[in-house]
Amino acid sequence: MARRSSSQIMSFVDFVTNNLFNIVILLGIIALILYIFSTPKQPIIVLPKENFSSCTQNEENEGFESGNDEVEMFRNAVSSGKPVVVKFYAPWCGHCKKLAPTWDELMKEHPGKVIKVDADKNGDIAKEYGVQGFPTIMVFKGGKKVNDYDGPREKSSLQKFISQL
């Protein structure tokens, strides 16, 4: 093997130090290319039609709406002719989360008279009745909005209000 002279070694060292930035960039590009091509591809998941059995096609815009028990419960309850207290809520709303356990108890104690509607999922209903904040509590009778509830949100106050209907 031929021995390299010190001048050859010095010229190589000079080349590397003078072009260090370019060498680092080039090595980075090579590393990125190797990473991209060595990363395993994620499999494509195909969802069967059975996953969408609870959806119905909306002819108006050819989109899909999920079958929603809250909408049916709301429509049936407000059209019954009896007074119904409805809480419009949003799952992300802190005040709604705080009121949820109380409202669930009231729903159990007054089935069909106290209901709730997720305004995020059922925006058309919330918009129809002018819901702008959460939670919004309204009273319906005979298919029409009769009153908004603006009182305290404790169970005793709500219980008293419901019993007066």
Q: Exposed (0-12), middle (13-18) or buried (19+): which is 141, by Cβ within 10 Å?
A: middle
Q: Which of 71, 80, 83, 93 is catalytic?
A: 93
Residue with tokens 């069967």: 48
One-letter amino acid at 82 equals K
93 vs 95: CA distance, rounded Å: 6
Residue whose structure tokens are 């990473």:
35
Q: Alpha-carbon dihedral of residues 163, 160, 129, 96, nearest 10 degrees? A: -130
Contact 125, 74 (CB under 8 A): yes
From CA 137, how far away is CA 131, in angstroms rounded? 9
Q: Which of 86, 90, 96, 158 is catalytic?
A: 96
- Whether the CB-CB separation of 74 and 114 falls below 8 Å is answered with no
Report the 10 Å Cβ neighbour count for 80: 15
Residue 55 annotated among the catalytic residues of the structure: no
Catalytic sites, residue numbers: 93, 96
